[in-house]
Structure formats: C-alpha cells, structure tokens
Amino acid sequence: MPQTTPAATLTYRAWQRVSKLPLGPRLFSAAAVLRVPYFGTILPTVEEMRPGLARVRAPKWWGVHNHIGTFHAIAVCNMAELAMGMLAEATVPTTHRWIPAGMTVAYQARATTGLTAEARADVPDFGPTPFDHPVAVSIRDRAGKEVATATITIRVSPTT
C-alpha cells in the first residue's frame, strides 16, 4: 500500500504559492515578520525554503550595528533562528510540532556586509516518539566568507 505524505504546514504552503509571484519572497518575508515581529529587526528576505533547506538574507543597516559598526552578534543569531524556523516549517509535517530546544553559535569573523544564513538538516522519519533534531546554520557575508555557524536543536513531537 503506498505511503501518503503528511500535509505541509500553512507557512510552507504559503511560501510555495507566494514565492512564485513578482516580489513574492519579499511579500512572504513581510508576512513572516508580521507573524513574528521580532525578526523585523533584521529586515529579512526568505530566499529559499524547502524540506531540509532554508536560506534567508538580511542587509547591513544601522539597526543591526554593534558598537564597532559591524553586524551585531544577536542579529546574527536572529538570522540563524529565522533560517532554522523556515527549514522546520518546510520539513516538519502537520502531524508533528517543533520548538527550539537549544542553540550553539561560533563567530569566526566580523560581519561587515549584509549576510545570508543557510540552514540545512536531514529530513528525519516522523514517528510517534518525540526526538531532538539538529539544524546546522552557516552565516556568510556577501563575498561568501563564513562569519558564523550555529547548531540549533529542535524538539519534534507528534501533535496528538
């Protein structure tokens, strides 16, 4: 008997529809910020979102500056968390829920330009037992230099 694919989340279905429109990624990103206003501080644009991968871009502007004029460490963390969240929304089916359980971050270099955060994770089997799932995030500057890495562990459990 063929196995059915669990339903995609509302967020992922919205991305699939809106991202194809002119200015779609910007419209989707604005809607995401309305839903989670704290992410508005980084002025994000979701560039890609699919099971196992999400990419988010953010400009360098005075609102993310630290005392030396570079991208603030917590703004970098916000980017990592948003990329992870978009990956989770595209990966975790509606039969399950997810929540961040922990985050480790390593800063490798000053971030002097806009940044792109790319979250990657294997797509796990979603069974009846709750589990922790690591999501790796790489944050790079415009030249492609990695300025930070993060591992965000999400707790996944059935919605029942």
- Enter the pTM of the model: 0.93
Is the pLDDT at 3 greater than 80? The verdict is: no
Q: Is residue 4 part of a domain?
A: no
With 0-12 / 13-18 / 19 or more C-beta atoms within 10 angstroms meaning exposed / middle / buried, residue 97 is middle
List all residues 6 or more positions away from 122 whose beta carbon is below 8 Å from its beta carbon.
52
What's the structural domain count of the chain? Answer: 1
Q: How confident is the model at residue 144 (pLDDT cuts 50, 70, 90)?
A: very high
Q: Could you report the per-residue pLDDT of 89-123, keeping only the tens digit for each?
A: 999 999 999 999 999 999 999 999 999 999 999 99
With 0-12 / 13-18 / 19 or more C-beta atoms within 10 angstroms meaning exposed / middle / buried, residue 104 is exposed
Tokens of 1: 């008997």
H or E segment at 32? helix 24-35
Pairwise pLDDT comparison (41 vs 160), residue with the higher score: 41
Give percent above pLDDT 90 in the chain.
Answer: 94
Domain that holds residue 109: 10-158
Residue 117: name the closest of 70, 157, 71, 156 by CA. 71
The domain that holds 40 is classified in CATH as 3.10.129.10
Q: Is residue 90 part of a domain?
A: yes
C-alpha span between 87 and 68 (Å, rounded): 32
* Mean pLDDT score across all residues of the chain: 94
Check the CA dihedral 83-88-91-93 and report its sign. Answer: negative
Q: Is residue 140 part of a domain?
A: yes
Q: Could you report the per-residue pLDDT of 24-57, keeping only the tens digit for each?
A: 999 999 999 999 999 999 999 999 999 999 999 9
Pairwise pLDDT comparison (48 vs 1), residue with the higher score: 48
Q: Is residue 38 part of a domain?
A: yes
Is the pLDDT at 5 greater than 50? The verdict is: no
